[in-house]
A and B are shown apart, each in its own frame.
Chain A
Amino acid sequence: MTLHYRGKAKRILSSLGVEDYDRIRIRKGSLVYEGIVIPRPEIFDDEHLILKLDSGYNIGIHLDGVEIEVLEKGKPIQRKEVPSLRFREDLPYVPLIVTGGTITSRVDYSTGAVISHEKPEELLDIVPELAEIVNIDYVPLFAEFSENLTPDHWRKIAKAVYDELRRGAEGVIIAHGTDTMHFTAAALAFMLHNLDKPVVLVGSQRSIDRPSTDAILNLIAAARVAAQGPIAESVIVMHGSPHDDYAFVIRGVKARKLHTSRRDAFQPVNEPPIAKVTREKIELLSNKFNPRREGRSRVELDDRLEPNVALLHVWPGMPEDMLRYAGERFKGIVMAGTGLGHVPRWLIPIVGEIVGSGVPVVVTSQCLFGRVDLQVYETGRRLLVAGVIPGGDMLPEVALIKLMYALGHTSDIEEIRRIMQTNIAGELGAHLGLNVFPPCWR
């Protein structure tokens, strides 16, 4: 018996044998309502029933003083008939690794329920263009909101990518929640060595159950980049503007979600996008990328990560014990400092103590754009003396993952310093031309 109600409402409804999606008649005072019982999200109160009227509207009815009569038991939601997928010899095989987000689900209009796809055919019902670009298959890994992902999830994704590429995929698409997509993209960049095919992360800022979804263009663009793109890197492919015209290909280690909700929330920091992708074609905007190599992939997997690393956002007046605690609790610390990479004066001795105890401290900037420079002001110079590792033009999140990666391989602080200051996947040493900082009102 399924009934998604709790507390008082559950007691009343279950005593009457009411289940989700049953058709019922409710009498309340002089009023009579007829409709379908809709499951109630758990965070709502336990005093109202949600009824879907025949007009399609949902209303909430307070359960005090109601008489309920079950007219008809609910039917299981019908799966839509979809034509089965045909393999096209002329198109490359590109799997879609599913990690979460709504990109692989649809809405059932009779109930409003969001139903996960079971087959890629259901996705093609919404984005039939994909069938013209790739032979697609689903690789379901898990279904998580991306804020819940951990380094373990990144490992699972990296393994799946490795397996699929080794199996002969020409590229891989990863459907991912957008909150932490840039973390995952960066983690893959460090874990996949000798990458010779595109690894494309894609998501949507407007879920795919709405007609205005950005997922259609994003998926078409992602498929095009994965199947045909010359870029063998871990990249994010999402809208490049509020228009539904083109997406940008952004290097994973240089990508940042810079807006909470806009379609073009992901922007590259400190470098231009690598390419612009329309429904029809890929236009390269940069020649600085690792090129695709033909033939079966010879990618290597190196998924040793030390998850015990902290990212501290420095603020004015930040107390000493905050940092002291982090030094004791974690095996490495990344600080998102102010300006050129500074921290308050009183924290510098503690930084020295932490580094002295063998815990590496990397300094990046919460400005995001530009690079840290610890030689300009006295605070910076003192930090250098205290033994911090300057993070160059790395984003704080990227430095965090890179430090996890470095600590996964060694605990020698000088070796860690060397790794952190050596470019591995395009995360370090960008050319900061005057065209890479984007205020819109210029």
Chain B
Amino acid sequence: MHRLLSNFTKYRFLLKELVKKDIKLKYRNSILGIVWTLLEPLLTMIVLTIVFTVVLERERPSIDFPVYVLVGRLLYGFFSSGTRLALKSVRNHSSMIRKVYVPKYIYPLATSLSSFVTFLISLIVLVAVAAVRNIQPTFHLFEAVIPIVALLLLTTGVGLVLATLDVFFRDLEYLWGVIMMMIMYTSAIFYETDKFFTDGGWKMWLFKLNPLYAIITNFRNSIFGEAPDVFFTVYSLGFGVAAMLIGVILFYKKQDEFILYI
């Protein structure tokens, strides 16, 4: 444990450099640069709002649809980009791993953290849109910390698992793309799920068992001034911790074999 910590202190500069590199390179050669982090979710929100309220004419008096969509889009976006980047992180640094000793967990950790930083920056859009839509903040807003922590744990944990498996199975990227699509549709980003929950049928479980749905719901609750759902809080935090544990154990067990495959 002590060795692990002293090793981490030595390589904290590398972690910082890698996080910085991810963010810097993401928007290099684009005129608007980091502004895209704000513009992209905003434009997605506008498109989805127009499609669902103007074109499809689905009125939703109960909620503020733009904010509802934006929250879903931002949280899903972090999970999606964080896991996708982590998946490739070990193989992308193969030339480095083959030559110089560096604690290998640094690579997937850096991608999760860089996605997290981008996510935090993009929350500015949410603040702006919520202000424009006149959504009054309540003390429940502080409870948004719970889903954010759960999401960070979940993304990092799943990222570690994916980074490990991708070393051995190169086609994982495509498989994960399909799984992400399933996760997206059961996260209820641009539609409401009340109907399924009042029915109480099997379809309800599609959402209830998706930890990302639990996280997004709790985050929305905190924005709209409602208390967090107890089941979703316990479930998402538990899922996050479990994903993290599995990720760390799997990564540590397999990391010495990486060099033979990359």
Task: Verify that A and B bind, or say they do not.
Answer: no
